[in-house]
Structure 1
Amino acid sequence: MNAVSRVAIAVSVALSAPAIAAPTAPELPQTAEAIERLQITGERQSGYLVNDQDSASKLPLSIKDTPQTVSVISAEKLKDFALNDINSAVEYSATVNVEQVETDRTYFSSRGFELTNIQTDGLGLNHDYGTTTGRVDAALYERIEIVHGANGVMTGVGSPAATVNLIRKKPTSASQASISTMLGSWQAKRVEADVSGALTDSWRARAVLVADDRESYLDRYATNSQVAYLVMDYAPTTSTLITFGYSEHRNDSDGNLWGALTLYYGDGTPTNFARETNISANWSYWNVTKKQSFIDLESQLSDRWKLRAAYQRTRTDEDSQLFYTYLPDPATGLDPQTGLGLVGYASEYDYDDKQDNFDLYLSGNFNAFGGDHEVVFGVSHARLDFIDSSLYDFTTGNGFPAMPRLEDWDGNTPLPSFTDGLAGSDINTEQQAFYSQARFSLGADTKLLVGGRWNEFTAEGIGYGVDRFRDEQKFIPYFGVTHALSDATTVYASYTETFKAQNLRDRNFELLPALTGESAEIGLKTALLGDKALLSMAYFDITQRNLAVSDGTVMNPNTNAPEVVYRAADGVSSSGFEIELSGELLAGLQGSIAATSFDVDGDALVENYTPENLFRSSLTYQFEQLAALKVGASFLWQDSTSRLQGLVGPSYANAGQPIITEQGAYGRLNLMASYQFSEQLMLTLNANNVFDKTYLNSLLWAQGYYGAPRNFSASLRYQF
């Protein structure tokens, strides 16, 4: 029995009986009063409209009063469209583009730039490589908040793309328990349990357990996930709430992609492989285990001042055996007649990291100059230590085998010895910050936000033969202003800067300089339909310097293996518009409709592989005469992209012509229907990509693979 299973059983036994028998919210004066005084916002939402946010500022600002665009993927949307993993969920947001370059490694982008700030309850270090690995389950989270643009006061670093903040599920005062089962295409099976309630008048608890097992439309690819989560809160007084918890997530993948399909033949014609084509070996796997513990203390010191201290500890363990394919002679490329020319490249890769985040801040309000003003002062400390290693096989012939045609590839290749060319990293990084933000009342309707964050970032260690020492400091200013035109409508403007030390290397295997930039935004937010819906419109303008752009593949002299390298592009800019409408749009009609349109300028490669127009809509309708039935549809659309892959080599008649991979504009329609048989029992049916659109997931890399064809799932949920 593995560790996750043992934790799952322990949590289930510990909570199932007392939680269901616990007293309800009215009998919990201590906890209820503490929650009311501390203004905990986690449970205040209705349908697809969420009024409060925890991600853009540590000041108590509603989404309408925040001088940046904020999108929220609510609990109801997650449930309606069976968004059971973070990649699927974030793809439904107004502005984020999910760059699925491999099966188990994902990049995100927004407003034309890489999104590297992914947090949990406001804590988490910027991702140096901008990736998430493994299948990250969404069952732990009540909702997902996305702050569009730079978020320097909250994060201090990162690109001006966006910040994704995963808001954990918290204990509830009312006793509740549910279990759901799901069956889907490609042998997908899922069981999820969620139990919550009060234990005493000052203790509450919640547990979530998940087992998810599924195969894939890709040959040989399958995943198995197990999740266990326990969170408790304790109100020692009516002014203090302590929340603490632990989660463990294990994701095991077999037959995973490392890299993806070669998209062109040597003469420049597209390969057009079948959607199920997979380059992996039959022994390929990538196992990721993440353990996270946290504690959060909030205390109302007086009627005006509140103190919060939060600590989060994350431990990640990744083990993998990977198989990649590449063209050793780009001038000849993949032979258009025989399909030969690829060489396999095997590696055993292990990664372990330890991440600790601590945040302490004091927030409150004061009267001065005839107005009431709000202010926050805080300090934070984050440390990330990681070790990784790569092993190869240069001696047996199994480490770099010649490939057959991919149409004939079944993954059958001998397991390499993985005893050669040991290389890796041992890196320690620290970030310390001091920050402050104030919201001044310039009048009854006008508020000025002024803030800043001083960051010190240090790193030491060796990574694949390169010294990773860095010692950089940066002050990040923030300015914003809001003006209420009426009770329903607010206009705003904001400006901030960005800074991110980079770990990527150039052709000389030297680190790229720090990524810096500025981001400005103006916009309007208005409540509609009696405050049941919110319309947001924004124009943004961004400039980035030293943006990392792929610069091909070269042989690493330390490992004797091919490696992707990067160049620093200067003066890459993005400007455009976003609009989003969310909430109850008509009686019974819940939904969100969002569109983004922008222009990337300054680097042709980035301009071409970035989708500059996005449309996202999710709508559900509950019939008045048949309230048990709900039907819905979502439509995800993006415009065309392309990538210059190089020039046709001299051995072909069309030598010198550019090789361009193109993905035309495409949209995917997804449908859902649910029926509430009783207060306890509900059935939900989902159909994804119902028109069976064939598309490449991403052109961020020179390689790529195809998205999932039409697929279905059915979920049965029982609420106790």
Structure 2
Amino acid sequence: MANPLTSARRRPAAAIAPASFAVSPVSRALRIGWFAVAVSAVLPLGSRAFAQATAADAATQTDVAARTLAFQVPAGPLPGAIAGFAEAAGVSVSAPPELVRGLASPGVNGAYPIRQGLERLLAGTGLVAVPSGADTWILRRQPSSSAADAAILPEIQVEGRYHRSQVTEGSGSYLGGPTDSSTGLTLSLRETPQSVSIITRQQMDDQGLLSIADVLQQTPGVTVAQDNTQRYAFSSRGFSLDNFQYDGLPSLSTSDGSWDTFSTTSTAIYDRIEVVRGASGLLNGTGYPSGSVNLVRKRPTRDFQGQIAMTAGSWDRYRGEVDLSSPLSESGGIRGRVVAAQQNRHAFFDYYQQKERIFYGIVEADLTPSTLLSLGLDHQENEGTGSSWTHIPLFFSDGTRATFPRSFSPAAKWGRTVQESDKVFATLDHQFSNDWQAKVALGYKRNKLKEALISNGVGFIDADTHSMLGYTSQFPSGSKEKTIDLQLRGPFELGGRRHEAVVGWSLSSVNSHSISSNGVPTSYDIPDIFHWDNNPPRPTGYVTSEAPISTLQRAAYGTVRLRPTDALSLIAGARVNSYDWSQVWRGDGWQEPSSINVSGKVTPYAGVVYDVDAYNSVYASYTDIFKPLAWYFDRNNRQLDPQTGTSYEVGAKGEYFDGKLNTAIAVFQIKQSNVALLDPNATRPDGSAAYTAAKGVTSNGFELNAVGEVAPGWQVMAGYTYRNSKDATGAKVNTTDPEQLFKLATTYRFPGRWSALTIGGNVYWQSRIYYTASVGGRDVVADQKSYAIAGLMARYEFSRQLSASLNINNLFDKTYYSGLGSYGSAYYGEPRNALMTVNYKF
């Protein structure tokens, strides 16, 4: 297995002027391309500042070990702490992976010479730092007084910078570390032949990203549309994004149609969120060619640490969070962590209130020096009153547009939604002496949903009287999911070179049950939708139908990474999948069964990465698409055939400033058959939405991305995406997703005496979207023109423990739709609002 702490092909982390990067015309051309990313207005300034700062360091560095610097590295896992220290000091700190595995650092805060800072960072770990060159340090076990012990600790000569840890908590960076979310192999962003973005704990804290929807709103290439008060729709490259993983374990219930609570899940329990764009069937099995989202939970630390955060914001938003981590044994071989949070809030429109509660607990135990057992659970619940099913209706009965103020609510005052999600998980990791690793992961998830609502967005407003029909319903439902994944990974020798492989087997089952109850009376006549009391009579009886659903997925998968040369990586993989889905929709004296059965479906994956030089790579990847359309029926009530196709991606990636800045350019093409599109001119026999299968849909586009540190203290996450999706006739599809997206999130921490202050902000821009409906036999269009919203943030650290931050969102109070077209309705984006957070660490 490649050493995750060193990279022999890279230079040490000494101060290197950017001019020394140029080694070939190709390299120079690629680098020009990187800096054409949409942050080009600021990035050249950052690179010049970085060059000036590093050149100044090189000129004045006569005694590196004695140089005094200000450090703020929190306690936590040792790999992450070393990464943060190395970045702050501008040095390389290296060690074999087995030397630091499972250790934790007490952190270092304050101004110290580098040598003394390292001593504090390594206190209690049994390790020491030994200088090896001007700006290079290597870690060794603390020598004993025994000559025999000393004899087995030879001098280790290591070149290369410290490889960034996967853990982002405490890193202070917007740049994530290696990830296995794409191929199953643990690869850096540059080594992965697909588009990947990692939203780190630092970015979540800086930008006030309190929910998964908030995170995906800042993720390059991802569109977030809000359908109603509690539901979001995510998409990437023009297609629904519904493949979710928890700590790398795929969740079948997020993609088989069973209701899940991931859209409103709090980020309090997560270290980072990894998003792969493009087809991801290798690890997820079935899915759209949009990508996957991996939610990675926080882990325990060997030393005690904790924090308390209190937040207050617009519309009576109040939130409290407690996060505690501690060893549970004297040696730290058993350790635990708990996170609890609660939030209460109102909304910018009438009647809506929300309560959110989160609890997370995990225990880790080192059964042996090579075996780690993890057990945990998380519970999240969301309760809303004044909830809506559809939202603001878009059209009058004559086809003209209807407009409402942002404060308008279409919901009944008594409308209520309660979501609960419980997840229990366990993993057993064992590291063999030959660097192979075996992992067993188990997951159990239970979801509950109760809703009592009135739907007012279905249909049209009478053009003369402004009357409208509302439909009362309740939807109690639930699901239980069980998952097991067995995985073996490691290096092997072939042709005198070292390669890597991963093989696995997984089994997932979901049993869900939903009840759809129309109120008696089933409809309510609203005399004037613009002037009503939002208090229709509660239904006194119900006509009920129900739908038990069973889903079973079995799969074997494998990936191999061959290294025929130092510069060339060939990645090949496949997944063999079996998928069984059945539903029986039944009511009083009737039932309607439907099922899907697929066996031995092979999803191939291929990728190639070539290192042009030490800083730039080019890549290409290919995979197939397979998505059963279990919930999509046409106007004749016939279930649509599975969606199939191919996905291609080519691009180039770069690492600059000793890996602190990553950039990427990607061009993609997705070809599909049997794409489910909403039928605007018909419904199913029961009145629900009907779909048609487009014979062929092609989506073409490209992305530009940059993430990391563009100058000392200056963090950036930026991306621009363009995509164009058309069917076989050349007509545009997925028009409620923008064709163009630009996103930028950034912070700058001042140096020297102002180092307690950090400022930053974010910008979001999207192109026009539109929704087409049929009124009286003619098509009418509702659109949201292109718009931009901006936010600001500032944080001041009063001490090493106490800080306060302010986030202002939608700074210029832009009025726009954040969701368009769900059942002919729209949802306004939030007006200008603010969040103030006070955080105390101990």
Q: Secondary structure at the match of 2:819?
A: coil
Query: What is the Cα deviation at residue 265 of structure 1?
Result: 1.6
Aligned letter for 2:765? W
Q: 1:550 is matched with which residue?
A: 678
In 1, the alpha carbon distance for the partners of 2:821 and 2:499 equals 45
Q: 1:703 is matched with which residue?
A: 825
Aligned letter for 2:531? D
Aligned letter for 1:335? D
- Does 2:299 align with 1:170? yes
Q: 1:415 aligns with which of 529, 538, 559?
A: 538
Query: What is the Cα deviation at residue 533 of structure 1?
Result: 0.5
- Asked if the contact 1:541/1:576 (under 8 Å) is kept, the reply is yes
Q: 1:435 is matched with which residue?
A: 557
In 2, the alpha carbon distance for the partners of 1:220 and 1:456 equals 46
Q: Secondary structure at the match of 1:536?
A: strand
Query: What is the Cα deviation at residue 418 of structure 1?
Result: 3.8
In 1, the alpha carbon distance for the partners of 2:247 and 2:717 equals 23
Q: 1:567 aligns with which of 658, 673, 692?
A: 692
Q: 1:592 is matched with which residue?
A: 717
- Asked if the contact 1:106/1:131 (under 8 Å) is kept, the reply is no
The alpha-carbon distance between structure 1 residues 519 and 438, as it changes in their structure 2 partners (threshold 3 A), is same
Aligned letter for 1:679? R
Query: What is the Cα deviation at residue 197 of structure 1?
Result: 2.3
Q: 1:238 aligns with which of 369, 391, 402?
A: 369
Q: 2:784 is matched with which residue?
A: 663
Q: Residues 103-149 of structure 1: CA distance to partner in whole angstroms, max 9, x if unpaired?
A: 21111100011111011111111512397546211111111100110
- Does 2:791 align with 1:673? no
Aligned letter for 1:672? M
Query: What is the Cα deviation at residue 304 of structure 1?
Result: 2.7
Q: 1:629 is matched with which residue?
A: 757
Query: What is the Cα deviation at residue 302 of structure 1?
Result: 2.1
Give the number of the structure whose alpha-carbon radius of gyration is greater.
Answer: 2
- Asked if the contact 1:116/1:131 (under 8 Å) is kept, the reply is no
Q: 2:21 is matched with which residue?
A: none
Query: What is the Cα deviation at residue 669 of structure 1?
Result: 0.4
Unaligned runs of at least 5 residues, structure 1 = 1-18, 34-38, 650-655
Aligned letter for 2:368? T
State how 1:467-486 maps to structure 2 within 5 Å: 467-473=593-599, 474-486=601-613
The alpha-carbon distance between structure 1 residues 419 and 677, as it changes in their structure 2 partners (threshold 3 A), is same
Taking only the aligned residue pairs, the percentage that are identical comes to 33
- Asked if the contact 1:25/1:173 (under 8 Å) is kept, the reply is no
In 1, the alpha carbon distance for the partners of 2:267 and 2:357 equals 12
Query: What is the Cα deviation at residue 20 of structure 1?
Result: 14
Q: 2:814 is matched with which residue?
A: 693
In 1, the alpha carbon distance for the partners of 2:463 and 2:667 equals 46
The alpha-carbon distance between structure 1 residues 426 and 113, as it changes in their structure 2 partners (threshold 3 A), is same
Q: 1:146 is matched with which residue?
A: 275
Q: Residues 587-640 of structure 1: CA distance to partner in whole angstroms, max 9, x if unpaired?
A: 221111110011111174624322010000001111114111111110011000
State how 1:185-196 maps to structure 2 within 5 Å: 185-196=314-325
In 1, the alpha carbon distance for the partners of 2:790 and 2:314 equals 17
Query: What is the Cα deviation at residue 276 of structure 1?
Result: 1.7
Aligned letter for 2:466? G
The alpha-carbon distance between structure 1 residues 28 and 589, as it changes in their structure 2 partners (threshold 3 A), is closer
Q: 2:288 is matched with which residue?
A: 159
State how 1:483-562 maps to structure 2 within 5 Å: 483-504=610-631, 505-552=633-680, 562=687
Q: 1:136 is matched with which residue?
A: 265
Q: 1:343 is matched with which residue?
A: 469
Q: Residues 239-270 of structure 1: CA distance to partner in whole angstroms, max 9, x if unpaired?
A: 11111101111110111110122112223322
In 2, the alpha carbon distance for the partners of 1:74 and 1:588 equals 16
Q: 1:359 is matched with which residue?
A: 485
Query: What is the Cα deviation at residue 272 of structure 1?
Result: 1.4
- Asked if the contact 1:113/1:161 (under 8 Å) is kept, the reply is yes
Q: How many residues align structurally?
A: 678
Q: 2:701 aligns with which of 554, 573, 576?
A: 576
Q: 2:836 aligns with which of 714, 717, 720?
A: 714
Q: 1:453 is matched with which residue?
A: 575
In 1, the alpha carbon distance for the partners of 2:446 and 2:290 equals 26
In 1, the alpha carbon distance for the partners of 2:239 and 2:821 equals 11
- Asked if the contact 1:304/1:366 (under 8 Å) is kept, the reply is no
- Asked if the contact 2:735/2:771 (under 8 Å) is kept, the reply is yes
Q: 2:439 is matched with which residue?
A: 308
- Does 2:331 align with 1:205? no
The alpha-carbon distance between structure 1 residues 25 and 151, as it changes in their structure 2 partners (threshold 3 A), is farther
Query: What is the Cα deviation at residue 21 of structure 1?
Result: 12
Aligned letter for 2:548? D
Q: 1:320 is matched with which residue?
A: 451
Q: 1:10 is matched with which residue?
A: none
Q: 2:509 is matched with which residue?
A: 383
- Does 2:461 align with 1:334? yes
Q: Residues 522-571 of structure 1: CA distance to partner in whole angstroms, max 9, x if unpaired?
A: 111101223211001100000121111112486765xx6x3122222221
- Does 2:177 align with 1:51? yes
In 2, the alpha carbon distance for the partners of 1:485 and 1:471 equals 46
Q: 2:158 is matched with which residue?
A: none
State how 1:32-71 maps to structure 2 within 5 Å: 41-43=166-168, 45-71=171-197
In 2, the alpha carbon distance for the partners of 1:105 and 1:375 equals 39
Q: Residues 415-470 of structure 1: CA distance to partner in whole angstroms, max 9, x if unpaired?
A: 102422x1121111100000111001121210110100000001233135432322
Query: What is the Cα deviation at residue 97 of structure 1?
Result: 0.2
- Asked if the contact 1:176/1:197 (under 8 Å) is kept, the reply is yes
In 1, the alpha carbon distance for the partners of 2:216 and 2:338 equals 24
Q: Residues 380-409 of structure 1: CA distance to partner in whole angstroms, max 9, x if unpaired?
A: 000000011011224xx3x30111322213
In 2, the alpha carbon distance for the partners of 1:159 and 1:117 equals 8
Aligned letter for 1:278? S
Q: Secondary structure at the match of 1:407?
A: coil
- Does 2:407 align with 1:276? yes
- Asked if the contact 1:663/1:695 (under 8 Å) is kept, the reply is yes
Q: Secondary structure at the match of 1:699?
A: strand
In 1, the alpha carbon distance for the partners of 2:397 and 2:542 equals 34
Q: 1:104 aligns with which of 218, 230, 244?
A: 230
Query: What is the Cα deviation at residue 63 of structure 1?
Result: 1.4
- Asked if the contact 1:230/1:245 (under 8 Å) is kept, the reply is yes
- Asked if the contact 1:108/1:130 (under 8 Å) is kept, the reply is no
- Does 2:237 align with 1:116? no
Q: Residues 287-343 of structure 1: CA distance to partner in whole angstroms, max 9, x if unpaired?
A: 011000100111112223110110111001111102102556xxxx42334322x20
